[in-house]
Amino acid sequence: MLRLTSLLLALMAANLQAHVSVAHHTSDPSTLYSSGTQPNRVVAAQSALSKCQRIAITQLTNGVCELISMDGIPIATAQQLLAQKDATPLYLWRFQNGEATVYLAGTVHILKESLYPLPQQYEDAYRATEKLVFEVDLSRYHPAEVQQKTLEYAKLSERSLRQSLPEDTYSRLVQAGMLYGMPIGQLQAFKPMLAFQQLGVLGLTAMGYDPAFGVDHYFGQLGQRQPEQILQLETLDLQFKLLFNQPLNVQVAVLEQALDELDDLQATTSDLIRAYFNGDDVALSALLKSQAGDNPLTKAFNQQLIDQRNRNMTKKVRGYLQTSDSYLVLVGAAHLIGPQGMVALLSKAGFTGVRIHSDQTIHESHP
């Protein structure tokens, strides 16, 4: 009883905590826009950005708004994350075989507006190719269908979310939910992996990141491809099965890993984005390995999520290289690096790719 009372008091204190975010405009960084006190970090982020954007519409012409702090925690700005040197290796490779050309591009699925424009070479590869290839082509699915499939795969067949988690893990999840405005009560019918997914998105949203600015989404919205020119390496059902059909103990371990890392989310995210824009494979590999954790269950899940899918997606790309067409293939940057990455697997299959740098055109290569 005493433990329960202490928990309730702790949750009440967390709920009453004031959350404040601060934004600036990249063309006028000295003027700050505070959210004022808000009930959670996501609302605070949205409030600060909204205040900045209202002013920007009437007074500023160039640049965009971005968050610079969250509850006193500094948030790395685009200027601090983007590459500062001239010859940066991009996550963009050119593969050619006979009449076929494949540009293999590494993406980040969630970014912020201030990180745009992307290096010109990505858009040049888009314009130089006939077909656009995603991991999953979401334009094939109505948003209501995606939501319905998510709920179907994520629904628990028995028990509740609370009954599926250790008491301490559930308590930590409730506190995280209060911090980021995630209603845990509405997730009781769903698997831990849905809570993991939602918490990740909300954590990034609180720092000003948005799936609408993900690299995949950016190219999908350009609207210069006919439906028959848009392909996919996987299916939505395959990805949902991989995510939501994991054994319960794996889902719990993955959620616990995310809760363990929540306090370091800003630093980890900034390091990942910095490594991506600086073409730093060593740093990116180390960060991805660290995110997999030390638990054998999370390590095995990560191997399924990356290595196993690499093999299947590489097989599809090998097929493209046997045609006479040109393709821009967009996959998460984590799928391209390391000895089990798609670039290495294509090389082992006899297809040697040329990495494009920021000081080159897409047709050039460094000696």
Tens-digit pLDDT profile for residues 54-66? 987 777 778 999 9
- Residue pair 97/327 in contact (Cβ under 8 Å)? The answer is no
Q: Which two tokens stand for residue 51?
A: 């205040």
pLDDT at 225: 85
Residues 191 and 314 placed together within one structural domain of the fold: yes
Whether 39 is covered by a domain: the verdict is yes
Q: Residue 2: what pLDDT? A: 46
Number of domains in the chain: 2
User: What's the pLDDT at 16?
Assistant: 54
Q: How many CA atoms lie within 13 Å of 41's alpha carbon, on the beta-carbon side?
A: 28
Give mean pLDDT, residues 31-55: 96
Residue range 5-13: mean pLDDT, rounded: 48
Residues 183 and 329 in one domain: yes
The span from the CA of 68 to the CA of 208, in Å, is 9
Q: Provide, rounded to the nearest whole percent, the portion of the chain with pLDDT above 70.
A: 95
Last residue of a domain, one of 75, 99, 119: 75
Contact indicator for 176, 262 with CB cutoff of 8 Å: yes
- Same domain for 37 and 98, yes or no, is no
pLDDT at 37 over 70: yes
pLDDT average, residue stretch 28-39: 95
Q: Where are the alpha helices (DSSP H) in 60-185?
A: 78-81, 120-127, 143-154, 161-164, 167-180
Whole-Å CA distances, 225 to 108, 221, 308 = 21, 10, 30
| Residue 297 and residue 189 share a domain | yes
pLDDT at 69: 98
Boundary-marking domain end, from 35, 58, 75 = 75
pTM confidence score: 0.91
Give the separation between CA 188 and CA 85, rounded to whole angstroms: 49
Last residue of a domain, one of 57, 75, 93: 75
Of the ranges 89-103, 178-192, 218-232, 344-358, which one carries the lowest mean pLDDT score?
218-232
Tokens at 83, concatenated: 């590459």
Q: How many helices (H) and strands (E) does the chain have?
A: 16, 10
Q: Specify if 147 maps to a domain.
A: yes
Is 96 contained in some domain? yes
Both 28 and 137 in a single domain? Answer: no
Contacts of 340 (CB under 8 A, 6+ apart): 306, 307, 310
Residues 48 and 191 in one domain: no
Assign 74 to helix, strand or coil.
strand
* 308 is a domain residue: yes
**pLDDT mean over 232-257:** 97
pLDDT exceeding 90 applies to what percent of the chain?
A: 86
Same domain for 24 and 124, yes or no, is: no
Check residue 56 and give its pLDDT: 78
Judge if 43 and 105 occupy the same domain.
Answer: no
Question: Contact, 154 vs 191, CB < 8 A?
Answer: yes
Q: What does the pLDDT read at residue 4?
A: 46
Whole-angstrom distance, CA of residue 185 vs CA of residue 195:
11
Say if residue 67 is in the same domain as residue 93.
no
DSSP code for 333 = G
- In a domain? residue 165: no
Residue 191 shares a structural domain with residue 303: yes
Split at pLDDT 50, 70, 90, the class of 12 is very low
- The verdict on residue 46 lying in a domain is yes
Q: What number of CA atoms fall less than 13 Å from residue 22's CA on the CB side? A: 13
Phi and psi at residue 133, in whole multiples of 5°? -125, 125
Say yes or no: 327 and 249 in one domain: yes
Give the range of the structural domain holding residue 49, as residue numbers without chain letter: 18-75
Q: Distance between CA 183 and CA 180 in Å, rounded? A: 9
Asked if residue 168 is part of any domain, the answer here is no
According to DSSP H, which parts of 20-166 are helical? 41-59, 78-81, 120-127, 143-154, 161-164
Q: Is residue 367 part of a domain?
A: no
Provide the pLDDT confidence category of residue 1 given band limits of 50, 70 and 90: very low
* Distance (Å, whole) CA 56 – CA 72: 24
pLDDT band of 22, cuts 50, 70, 90: very high
Query: Phi/psi zone of residue 34: left (φ > 0), alpha (ψ -120 to 50 degrees), beta?
Result: beta
Do 39 and 101 belong together in one domain? Answer: no
Whether pLDDT at 244 is above 50: yes
Smallest CA-to-CA distance from 162 within 197, 186, 143, 131 is with 186
Grade residue 84 by pLDDT with cuts at 50, 70 and 90: confident
Q: 156-203: per-residue pLDDT in tens?
A: 998 999 999 999 999 999 999 999 999 999 999 999 999 999 999 999
